[in-house]
Amino acid sequence: MSGSLDRTQLDDLRQSCVECGLCLPNCATYLATGNEAQSPRGRLLLLGEVLDGRTDASEPSVRETFDQCLGCLACTATCPSGVSADLLAYVRRLAADADPNRRPPVRLLDRRAVLRTLRVVGSLVRGAAVRLLGAGWRGRLERTPGAGRRLARLLGTLPVDPGSDDALIAQFETLDGGGPRPAVSSHHRAPAAGLRVAVFKGCADASLMPHTSRRLQDLLRRLGCELTVPEGQDCCGALASHLESRGRTSRLRRRNRRAFTPHLGHCDHVVVAAAGCGQELKSQPGDLSDMVIDAVSLLERLAPVDLGPVPLRVAVHDPCHARHGLGVVEAPRRLLARIPGVVVLEPAEAEVCCGSAGVYGVQHPEMSAVMGRRKAEALAATGCDAVVTTNPGCLGQIADGLALVAPHIPILPLTDLVWYAARASGPRKEMS
């Protein structure tokens, strides 16, 4: 862990950067600003200067570049020289240490009740905005200076909940034309070999998108999994660790270990819906991390074969946690390929972070908005009918960008699409 790096280790790590610059086009902060100080190589060069005592980490411009790193790991994923994530974590730590006063209230952000309230208020405000300003409400709000703009941004950081089953079905039916579906064979897949799966709910997933979270469980059950939802589980700790709140991070980790340990003996997997939580849990030492699997990989492994046709062109956005952190790239594509009629489109700059990155959107609203918009443009340029992804943070961030550049394109959780396809194939009652 970066906290325990000694000087020699740090020097060695730093030397691994050959300054080739190949990582620049993958870095969202560089793309947003065009400023190399805001690039991976720039940050590592500055780190070198700080370590050599040539520059002071508290110098505002240096701190700013460190501070604005998303921690998305897109750079380490392309680096031919093997520059490690630890180095970047260290960079971000330096920024936090240089200015300890800038921590937003973590507790608020990972308390479920607060998130739930935010969701309810958010959807009320959104509804009001739609009524007042019409379909292009997001753009109009953004153009009003001051409070309107801030409100727009705040709403933007909240994932748009796809809503109840009926709402979701209605949304899909408008998208795919809702035409008559070909009759589905009566063959019904026998439950898979009875996997026992413990569910990690994750605060954002469970609170901001409760229906999606439930639908995933429906789906898993239908595929023959036996589910347990351990009591006493808490936020994964990713947000707290983003904010370098060490005490809080380890408290949360302890709590989750306590909640899951009794179940680990008699279950095959711990399934996690949000890629962010998945990576956080995987990165912790212990038995829990070995059993963690992300929802998409699990679904793909369960190989649902009787998915109904959904004639949609969908662009896939890989959350950085999945793509760069866990290396999950193929699974979502293989899963989507099982849905007849779905055409998968790959956007340009697929490796680049959308700018959500935990609490980044709250800390750096301007920068994050630029990134979200750029990502939305790249996704819209594929000519897709809808975008799918697997992380609630990305969902909100990209929805916000899409609202500005292509309001007709919705973004939905990938598992909701699979749920819809499964429903489209089988008897309805089972799924609702």
- Residue ranges in contact with other proteins by CB under 8 A: 15-25, 30, 34-37, 39, 41-42, 45-46, 49, 54-55, 59-62, 64-65, 78-82, 348
Binding of residue 81 to ligand SF4 (CB under 6 A): yes
CB of 71 to ligand FAD, least distance (A): 25
Short-list 138, 83, 69, 16, CA closest to 405: 138
CB of 68 to ligand SF4, least distance (A): 7
| Closer residue to ligand FAD (CB): 20 or 120 | 20
CB of 355 to ligand FAD, least distance (A): 25
For residue 243, how many other CB atoms are within 10 A of its CB?
Answer: 21
Q: Are strands 313-316 and 386-389 parallel, antiparallel or unpaired?
A: parallel
| Closer residue to ligand SF4 (CB): 130 or 348 | 348
CB of 21 to ligand SF4, least distance (A): 5
Outline where DSSP puts E strands in 324-413: 343-345, 386-389, 411-413
CB of 166 to ligand FAD, least distance (A): 53
| Closer residue to other proteins (CB): 78 or 228 | 78
Binding of residue 43 to ligand SF4 (CB under 6 A): yes
User: Taking the CA of residue 216 as centre, how many other CA atoms within 13 Å lie in the half-sphere pointing to its CB?
Assistant: 27
Query: How many angstroms separate the Cα of 281 from the Cα of each of 65, 87, 321?
Result: 28, 20, 11
For residue 224, how many other CB atoms are within 10 A of its CB?
Answer: 14
Identity of residue 203: C
Binding of residue 20 to ligand FAD (CB under 6 A): yes
Q: How far apart are CA 248 and CA 108, in angstroms?
A: 12
Binding of residue 365 to ligand SF4 (CB under 6 A): no
Interacting partner of 415 out of other proteins, ligand SF4, ligand FAD, none (Cβ under 5 to 8 A depending on kind): none
Q: Which two tokens stand for residue 34?
A: 């065009």
Interacting partner of 73 out of other proteins, ligand SF4, ligand FAD, none (Cβ under 5 to 8 A depending on kind): ligand SF4
Binding of residue 353 to ligand SF4 (CB under 6 A): yes
Query: How many angstroms separate the Cα of 310 from the Cα of each of 20, 242, 305, 340, 343?
Result: 44, 38, 14, 6, 9
The residue ranges that bind ligand FAD (CB under 6 A) are 20-22
